[in-house]
Amino acid sequence: MTDQQTPAAAPAGEPILLTKKDFVSDVDPRWCPGCGDYSILAQAQKAMPDFGYRREDIVFISGIGCSGRFPYYMNTYGFHSIHGRAPTLATGLKASRPELMVWVITGDGDALSIGGNHILHSMRKNVDIKVVMFNNRIYGLTKGQVSPTSDFGQKTKTTPGGSVNYPIHPLVVALAAEASFVARSVDTFPDHLQETISRAGHHKGSTFVEVLQNCNIFNDGAHREFTDKEVRDDRMIFLRHGEPMIFGKDRDRGIRLNGVRPEVVRLGDGITEEDLLVHDETSEDPTIHFMLGRIYWPEFPVPVGVIRNVSRTTHDALLQGQVDEAIRREGRGDLRTALGGGETWTVGG
């Protein structure tokens, strides 16, 4: 295993001094007023200067949906591709241009319905792309149809009698696909969101960030039950590497394992922090990470933060490694030799 934690910063020379406004494009964002996407855009723009990449070396690639417009608003290179397929373009771009920083902006329908296969394979190949999935649990751009993360029984324009589909748990999908970095944040938690995007940007390898995002037009309050200011401390758990899994306004509750099953316990009465699970985002064993990706309100507090962060050699590095190794072993390819390969014979003039 090689250490891939250090980002391939721009070549030595002038330090890159950029600010948020360098990443604001000349196109005015056109999402609905009050949309959670504005917040994600602002936090992403704030996080960018810190990565040490020049603006021209950063590429945002999106699919279709409200999230798909994101690249237009970033003053970097950008590609608004087709529905569900952004990870494929990102894979090809990163493989052929490993020095670029490549982001994929997607939504719950784009990533988990039409593009599900590409999420699986870009993650398991550890392609060094940073996927940010806006999860509003609805199809917003097409005006309100059921999405793969919509609630069971949810009434939408295409499910007037209530959805008969059980929702996907996005983080479990990312973990099952062997993403090397998996995290969750919320559109209305600006600091947490910026920090999460920042950590994602610094990770080298397949990165999946779910952002719980509100669609105030077609699925208003999708996450309100646990994200509202008054309840969030009691209904969510903010994960920190190396810290026990404690939550609650009074930090009086925690998560422990009872056999192989997680349970919420109240501290006191003989239960101490020692009994609680301690978050280890770097654990190679993903069992607890799966658990964290799966537990949800109302049975459990909703985990946010970095759930998994492990180091594996990236797809682009492996591909480039094979090229370098072939050149080392065989010398740089000679076209004349390749053309004349196999048995040949000569016909005289």
Partner 1 sequence: MSTTDPTTEHEVEIQELDRVTVRFAGDSGDGMQVTGSQFSQSTAVFGNDLSTLPDYPAEIRAPAGSLTGVSGFQISFSSSPIYTPGDAPDVLVAMNPAALKRNIGDLVAGGAVIVNGDAFTPNNLAKAGYANNPLTDGSLKGYNVHEIPITTLNARALEGLDMTPKQVDLTKNFFALGVMFWLFERSMEPTLEWLEEKYAKRPVFIEANKRALMAGYAFGETTEIFHTHYRVAPAKLAPGTYRNITGNEATALGFLTASQLAERNLFYSSYPITPASEILQQLAEYKNFGVKTLQAEDEIAAIGAAIGASYGGGLGLTGTSGPGMALKSEMVGLAVITEIPLVIVNVQRAGPSTGMPTKTEQADLFQAVFGRNGDAPVPVVAPASPGECFAYAIEAWRLAIRHMTPVVYLSDAFLATGSEPWRIPELDELPDLRAPDHTELEGWHPYVRDPETLARPWVVPGTPGLEHRIGGLEKLDVLGTVSYDPDNHHRMSLLRAEKIARIANDIPPLEVFGPPEGELLILGWGSSFGAIRSAVERLQARGKSVAHAHLRHLNPFPSNTGDVVRAYRQVLVPEVNMGQLLFLIRGTYLVDAMGFNLVRGKPFQISEIQMKAEQLLGDL
- Contacting positions for partner 1 (CB under 8 A): 25, 27, 54-57, 59, 61-62, 71-72, 74-82, 85, 87-97, 99-100, 117-118, 120-121, 319-320, 322-323, 325-327, 329-333, 335-336, 338-349
Residue 127 is which amino acid?
A: V
Nearer to partner 1, 178 or 281 (CB): 178
Nearer to partner 1, 89 or 255 (CB): 89
Beta bridge partners of 12: none
Q: Is 86 helix (H, G, I), strand (E, B) or coil?
A: helix
Beta bridge partners of 264: 255
Smallest separation, CB 9 to partner 1 (Å): 14
Smallest separation, CB 5 to partner 1 (Å): 23
Nearer to partner 1, 27 or 278 (CB): 27
Among residues 130, 243, 280, 106, which one has the least CA distance to residue 197? Answer: 130
Nearer to partner 1, 40 or 93 (CB): 93
Backbone angles phi, psi at 181, to 5 degrees: -140, 125
Q: Is 265 helix (H, G, I), strand (E, B) or coil?
A: strand
Of how many residues is the chain composed?
349
Q: Are strands 261-266 and 253-258 parallel, antiparallel or unpaired?
A: antiparallel
Smallest separation, CB 173 to partner 1 (Å): 14
Nearer to partner 1, 96 or 272 (CB): 96
For 144, which DSSP code? S
Smallest separation, CB 346 to partner 1 (Å): 5
Nearer to partner 1, 121 or 192 (CB): 121
Nearest-angstrom CA–CA distance, 95 and 115: 20
Instruction: 319-324: list long-range contacts, CB under 8 Å, 24+ apart.
Output: 319/95, 320/98
Smallest separation, CB 115 to partner 1 (Å): 9
Residue 321 near residue 98, CB atoms below 8 Å: no
Smallest separation, CB 243 to partner 1 (Å): 37
Smallest separation, CB 320 to partner 1 (Å): 8
Nearer to partner 1, 90 or 237 (CB): 90
Sheet with strand 246-247: strands edge to edge: 246-247, 253-258, 261-266
